[in-house]
Amino acid sequence: MAKQAVITFPLYRDLSADNPWERAYSVPPSLPKFVRRSVPIRDVRHDFEGIDLKHSQDYLRRNGFTIVNHTSAMFDGEAIKDFDDVSVLEEVYYPECIKLLKKTTGAKHVFITHSSSRQSHGNTINTGSEKFPKTKEEIIKNEEESIKDRSKLNERIETFHMAAAPTANAELLKVAREAGIIQREDNLCEDATSPESDQILETNYNQNGKGPRYACFSIWRPLHDVTRDPLGYAPRYTTNVDGLIATKYENRVPGDSSLGGDFVREQEVFLIKDEEVGLKGPEFLYISEQKPEEVSIFKLFALGNTTLQPSNVEWEAPGTPHSSLDIGDAGYGPPRRSIDVRCIAVW
């Protein structure tokens, strides 16, 4: 079993003066160079064996990700429905995701923002009745036909995106207003006459008890057993590592004109301090040979929760850095294929 994996990190540069309005939609800032570094990894499959829903919920709260067992109607025996067919996703898969996230998080409302179908060779998947090898022996037997050079697997992955329908945007806005989210954020912006720390904003947002809550999640499902390049998660409280610099930047995002037009979304990237720096962490957690019915749910952000280190028993992870893990010769079989659905949950 692999104990180390290789991850690609961008080399540090100052992004504070970067202007997202001068870049194309969703294009991150230009970074000078990328370097590959070995990081420790740990298989946490045993953490999810024979578990109940409460365990999954607690794990998500503390670590920012969890695994839940869920069988989708998108899988019909050995055949897989077309994850590129929007009508099929809307009819079958999206309702499943909404129900699953509500059950796991206790949210009152869940909205799908978009989804991405991914594979390692640069085009979207049209699986139809395609059959995947079921056993390790079958996978190894088919490896020569199904595997390209390992370097090819690190090429840019093409994805397809679907914006929420205008009615869904309107419904999300309505729910956000009813929950008090819009008013609370407007008040914060009016009172913010000078730059304030995340901690102060969090305190103000949560004054007089917890403020209205919403969070963004990813529901990630492999389309076959993952035997190479697993998805790894580093709980945010473990990422304060010598040599790594957590750097925020903004991306330009297209917005509906009825909701104010284009906007910017803050994101975070971990940059390596120096080309010669080695890393002793963070440790990435992953699920060995993750199956299609073993669904990852991980948090991208949570409103009103920016404290990175556990502070009390009610503390919740604000989000989870994640990456594909190159586990070298410990990996085998076909390139990883998956469906990633992004959701906003409102409590």
Cα–Cα dist 324/231, whole Å = 5
Residue from 285, 283, 302 nearest 244 by CA: 283
Question: What is d(CA 206, CA 37) in angstroms, rounded to the nearest whole number?
Answer: 39
How many structural domains are present in the chain?
Answer: 1
Q: Can you tell me the distance from the alpha carbon of 124 to that of 122, in angstroms, rounded to the nearest whole number?
A: 7
Task: Determine the structural domain holding residue 96 and report its residue range.
Answer: 4-346
Q: How far apart are the first and last CA of the chain?
A: 40
Which distant-in-sequence residues (6+ apart) come within 8 Å of 235 by Cβ?
62, 63, 64, 65, 285, 317, 320
DSSP H or E stretch at residue 174: helix 166-178
**What is the distance between the alpha carbons of residues 219 and 101, in angstroms, rounded to a whole number?**
8
Name 8's bridge partners: 36
Going by C-beta distance under 8 Å and a sequence separation of 6 or more, which residues neighbour residue 213?
A: 179, 302, 303, 304, 346, 347
- Report which DSSP code applies to 152: G
Q: What are phi and psi of 296, to 5 degrees?
A: -85, 135
In sequence order, the 6+-apart residues with CB closer than 8 A to the CB of 107 are 101, 345, 346, 347
Cα–Cα distance, 313 to 206 (Å, whole number): 16
Question: What pLDDT is attached to residue 190?
Answer: 65
Distance in angstroms (rounded) separating the CA atoms of residues 29 and 31: 6
Global pTM reads 0.77
CB–CB of 58/313 below 8 Å? Answer: no
Tens digit of pLDDT at every position of the chain (347 positions): 678 999 888 899 898 888 999 988 878 888 888 888 899 999 999 998 877 888 888 899 889 899 999 999 998 776 778 888 888 899 999 999 999 999 999 998 898 888 887 665 433 333 233 343 344 344 344 444 333 332 222 232 322 222 233 344 556 667 777 777 777 767 766 665 555 555 556 666 666 666 567 888 999 999 999 999 999 999 888 888 888 888 888 888 777 676 677 887 778 888 888 888 788 888 999 999 999 999 999 998 776 555 666 666 566 777 888 888 999 999 999 888 899 998 988 88
Neighbours of 54 (CB within 10 A): 8
φ/ψ (deg, to 5) at 166 = -55, -35
Cα 171–chain centre separation: 24
Tokens representing residue 94 in the block: 């999206």
> Which residues, including other chains, have CB under 8 Å from residue 311's CB and lie 6 or more apart?
none
In one letter, which amino acid is 319? G
In this prediction, residue 45 carries a pLDDT of 92
Residue 238 backbone dihedrals phi, psi, to 5 degrees: -100, 0
**To which residue do tokens 């104990």 refer?**
3
Tell me if 341 sits within 8 A of 213, measured CB to CB.
Answer: no
